[in-house]
Structure 1
């Protein structure tokens, strides 16, 4: 069976699978369709002697860590303070030179993704469109027609661009519905969801890894009712984390920087007071948070801390400490701006004893 247009993955596609041969254009259904699309191993191919996967969930964006984020120790990803913010769902990237696309078709027998939700199986579909000039359908809202190409555009300087979605189950990934198309070298396509420096900055946001929040406490693991527990973070504990994202063959780059700005405390019980009352301990000028406890401070009010008003009874309180990271970015052509603050939270047990005084 051979078809020149995409089939949406549905009940009719189930019958089509039984006839899988030659050239089949396959399109998976929307995110609420639970029938999985057939999968194929990623064949090799590519441009500039690189190995390019056939999957449209594989991005070529290169990530590096100019500051922090990639060393040893326990680290984790940030959660955005803004619940409505998320990284970009899809964009387009250059993936093949003319020669690379021809090699990919030959080596893979034409099995791979031509878009996020559209796979072509069989050489003839690829050669019809990219070699012999026959049009094909895009998967945009209007199912527009994509004009074909002659001999893979060999002799021209540029790349075939394809849509990319890190998570193809995201409904917003359907916004990138153009099948793989040509763009001359040195130019960014003038299409919706074309990549920008901000696209890379937001992609890098999702790659920021910050150190675990290990706060210093005095007393360390057992507090006393009505006596403050001092909390602080050493100035050397938290440094800026910077992630650089570059998209090859586009000139696009962005650096996303996460800077620690505050520590928020949640005692784990309503029978407690925080210092300050908001529970937000701001960062000091030297990069530290709070003030280390010193002998004789037991009766003093800490700039950052907790006072428990009721003892634990066999079950410790869960003290939550979350650091807020301010996120900024800069990129190609002097672009830049702010992204939503991020947080990273850890929990530790706190036992509280009931005595009237304590010597420290």
Structure 2
């Protein structure tokens, strides 16, 4: 604002003050004159003249004030590099960020307008703007941090947009989900712990329909009706009889749902490796069972064959022995006393044969007789026998 304008404004204010004072005095005088008009017409007329004179002074000064306003209407003042207009109040017209308007139709009203772009730059937590320029240049907004502490917090503007990166590999003690603030990339990384822990169970699917449930004691799989079809349980009680006494033992169990009317299990286990000979406690697949059964059958068949051969050989030996006995039984003895006899015989039984040779003698009085014989059968086995007799 120039010095000339300042001086002009001072003069205008001074004249206006005097004119207003004169007008006020004249008005008071006129009121007094009106009260006493019947008694002092001359005083009233004089007061009217004074009032008219005061009115003329006010009109003249008003014209001077309007001239001053017209003169400064289009003048602007620079404040911190921004144009300030005094026509309607105080308007910072550089960017239209702040407007203070006193030209409201309502007496005494003042309108303050803040541009929306300017508002977005202001820290939302501030209760007052102590420094407008600082508020205009403010870029901080929310401070966002994850589980890794404030030292990695993100400083954001109110108008900023942020994405969330899923699948980080940050691990921590017992937390299942971990949020890591990355101030370098201005993002929050949400990661799932490698070892998720829950107190009771986790269910995938419809609890009343097809679902899988993982609990502390095992895993269960249900069908569309919600019935358990597969159960893998640990530390399950089972009643067993040992030495005539019932005891309770605990075992780990894999169970499948039985078919209708108890027709047997309905489950299958596939992909089981064939165990080796030293893996005697491993689960056996069908291939292993088939090979084991085949080997066992071969051994059994071999033993049966051996047994059959043994029985066949024994059968032949027995039949040969019967043939040898038959041959010995047909050896002859003398019929009169004091005679001796050598005899031979032939015997056979079911394809086996034998020959026998014997000696016999009787006493002179034919009271005592003696007989002995030996046979050889087709199995190259010998039969032999001897006897003595007394007759009277």
TM-score range (shorter-chain normalised) is: under 0.3
TM-score under structure 2 normalisation?
Answer: 0.17
TM-score under structure 1 normalisation?
Answer: 0.18
Q: Which of the two has greater helix per residue?
A: 2
Q: Higher RCO, 1 or 2 (CA under 8 Å, sep at least 6)? A: 1
Q: Which of the two has greater strand per residue?
A: 1
Q: In terms of Rg, which structure is larger?
A: 2
